[in-house]
Amino acid sequence: MASVSQLGYLGLNVSDLGEWERFATELLGLEIVDKTSQGFLMRMDEYHHRFIVRQDNEDDVAFIGWEVADQRALQELDTQLKSDGVETTPGSSEEARMRGVLEFLKFKDPSGIPTEAYFGPLMNFREPFKSPRPLSGFQTGTMGLGHIVIRVDDSARSLHFYRDVLGMRISDFIELQKGHRLGRQLSLTFMHCNPRHHSVAFGEIPVPKRLLHFMLQAKTLDDVCSTMYLAQDRGIPISASLGRHTNDHMVSFYMRSPSGFEIEYGFGARTVDDATWKVQQHYSGSMWGHRGMGAAAPQKASQP
pLDDT for the residue 178:
62
**Residue extents of the structural domains in the chain:** 6-119, 141-289
More confident residue, 293 or 194: 194
**Contact between 294 and 239 (Cβ < 8 Å):** no
Q: What is the pLDDT of residues 268-290, one digit of tens each?
A: 999 999 999 999 999 999 999 99
Which has the minimum average pLDDT: 129-133, 151-155, 172-176, 291-295? 291-295
268/196 Cα distance (integer angstroms): 11
Four-residue CA torsion sign, 217, 143, 204, 118: positive
| Confidence band of 301 (pLDDT split at 50, 70, 90) | very low
Same fold across 6-119 and 141-289:
yes
**In CATH terms, is domain 141-289 a member of 3.40.50.620?**
no
Among 29, 94, 5, 50, which Cα is nearest to 226's? 29
Question: pTM for this structure?
Answer: 0.94
Q: What is the pLDDT of residues 46-94, one digit of tens each?
A: 999 999 999 999 999 999 999 999 999 999 999 999 999 999 999 999 9
| Confidence band of 255 (pLDDT split at 50, 70, 90) | very high
- Type of residue at 46: E
| Topology annotation, domain 6-119 | 2,3-Dihydroxybiphenyl 1,2-Dioxygenase; domain 1 (3.10.180)
DSSP one-letter string for 69-103: SSHHHHHHHHHHHHHTT---EEPPHHHHHHHT-SE
